[in-house]
């Protein structure tokens, strides 16, 4: 039953419910949802949440008025599920169905209720960037004030990725440069930064960044990772001369390390 419900209502498209559904079928599906919610094991959180999402989609399509109907089901879902997951599920539905005003309003509530959640702040950032809003920096500053310090690197690096994907690439670069000045030995951050530049495809910028990364004085294991990534890039985008250049630079590093 749960697979049927998810197939009917947990789709990613703009019309999660078939347009020719009859009210009789609608009532039948509500009954199915009610049965599923009573019978799913309490430990199966994801399965249960998927059924609630199906309920959101059903009321969003056929509730009258639909906003009130969805809110009613949302309040019920909050009573028996992880509140943050329920909010994120509803947000996802609003975004998929292009209900931008409701999504924005819900996000406002979420960053107040879950102000220590990196995931929630990142959803706010993604929403703003996709809508080409101007107050990006003020939201970044608010997030950093609210989030525990241990989550700052994750938030900044993931926000930088969002800037590369749907915002302003130069802002993303500035964010990566900032955290790498503070944590220059974090090869995971260098790798993420390089991935974004590779995706954009400016070979001069990519190579300049690789040259900087492979000129660092890091542990051999970390340097091996960076040289390997550099070599893989040149094998896919460069020529034999550039491939040999990377190999030579790696060899020089090994010789200097052993000297």
- pLDDT tens profile 99-155: 999 999 999 999 999 999 999 999 999 999 998 877 899 999 999 999 999 999 999
Take residue 178 and report the two structure tokens written for it.
Answer: 């900032």
In this prediction, residue 163 carries a pLDDT of 97
In this prediction, residue 162 carries a pLDDT of 97
Is-contact 106 92, C-beta < 8 A?
no
Cβ density class 148-171: b for 16+ within 10 Å, e for less: eeebeeebbbbbbbbbbeebebeb
Take residue 64 and report the two structure tokens written for it.
Answer: 């009258």
Separation of alpha carbons 124 and 21, rounded Å: 34
What's the pLDDT tens digit per position in 57-84?
A: 989 988 888 899 999 999 999 998 999 9
Give 171's pLDDT tier (boundaries 50, 70, 90).
Answer: very high
* Of 160-164, 179-183, 251-255, the least confident: 251-255
Separation of alpha carbons 28 and 210, rounded Å: 59
End-to-end Cα distance, the chain: 67
Share of the chain above pLDDT 70, in %: 86
In this prediction, residue 222 carries a pLDDT of 97
DSSP string covering 109-125: HHHHHTTT-HHHHHHHH
Separation of alpha carbons 194 and 201, rounded Å: 10
Give 12's pLDDT tier (boundaries 50, 70, 90).
Answer: very low
Torsion of CA 222, 226, 232, 235, to 10 degrees: -130
Separation of alpha carbons 259 and 230, rounded Å: 24
Residue 41 has pLDDT above 70, yes or no: no
Mean of pLDDT over the chain: 89
Share of the chain above pLDDT 90, in %: 71
DSSP letter assigned to residue 237? H
Distance of CA 145 to the CA centre of its chain: 21
Using DSSP, how many helices (H) and how many strands (E) does the chain show?
Answer: 14, 0
Take residue 122 and report the two structure tokens written for it.
Answer: 């990142």
Give 1's pLDDT tier (boundaries 50, 70, 90).
Answer: very low
Residue 210 has pLDDT above 90, yes or no: yes
Separation of alpha carbons 161 and 47, rounded Å: 30
Give the residue-averaged pLDDT of 178-207.
98
Separation of alpha carbons 94 and 100, rounded Å: 7
In this prediction, residue 2 carries a pLDDT of 45
- Alpha carbon separation from 39 to 1, 25, 31, 32, 205 (Å, rounded): 10, 21, 12, 11, 56
Residue 15 has pLDDT above 70, yes or no: no
Give the residue-averaged pLDDT of 16-22.
50
Q: Which of 86, 106, 108, 77 is nearest to 94 (CA)?
A: 106
What's the half-sphere exposure (Cβ side, CA atoms, 13 Å) at 26? 16
**For the chain, what's the residue count?**
259
């Amino acid at each position: 039953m749960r697979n049927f419900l998810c197939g009917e209502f947990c789709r990613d498209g703009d019309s999660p419910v078939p347009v020719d559904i009859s009210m009789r079928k609608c009532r039948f599906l509500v009954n199915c949802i009610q049965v599923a919610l009573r019978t799913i094991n309490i430990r199966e959180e994801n399965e249960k949440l998927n059924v609630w999402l199906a309920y959101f989609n059903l009321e969003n399509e056929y509730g009258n008025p639909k906003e009130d109907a969805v809110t009613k089901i949302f309040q019920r879902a909050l009573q028996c599920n992880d509140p943050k997951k329920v909010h994120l599920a509803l947000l996802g539905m609003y975004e998929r169905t292009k209900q931008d005003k409701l999504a924005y309003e819900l996000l406002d509530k979420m960053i107040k209720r879950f102000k220590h959640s990196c995931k929630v702040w990142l959803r706010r950032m993604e929403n703003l960037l996709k809508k080409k809003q101007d107050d990006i920096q003020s939201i970044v500053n608010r997030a950093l004030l609210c989030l525990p310090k241990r989550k700052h690197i994750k938030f900044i690096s993931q926000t930088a990725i969002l800037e590369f994907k749907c915002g302003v690439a130069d802002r993303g670069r500035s964010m990566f440069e900032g955290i790498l000045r503070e944590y220059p030995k974090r090869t995971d951050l260098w790798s993420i930064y390089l991935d974004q530049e590779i995706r954009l495809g400016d070979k001069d910028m990519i190579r300049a960044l690789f040259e900087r990364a492979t000129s660092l004085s890091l542990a051999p294991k970390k340097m091996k990772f960076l040289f390997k990534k550099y070599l893989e890039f040149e094998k896919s985008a460069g020529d034999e001369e550039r491939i040999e250049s990377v190999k030579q630079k790696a060899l020089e590093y090994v010789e200097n390390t052993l000297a």
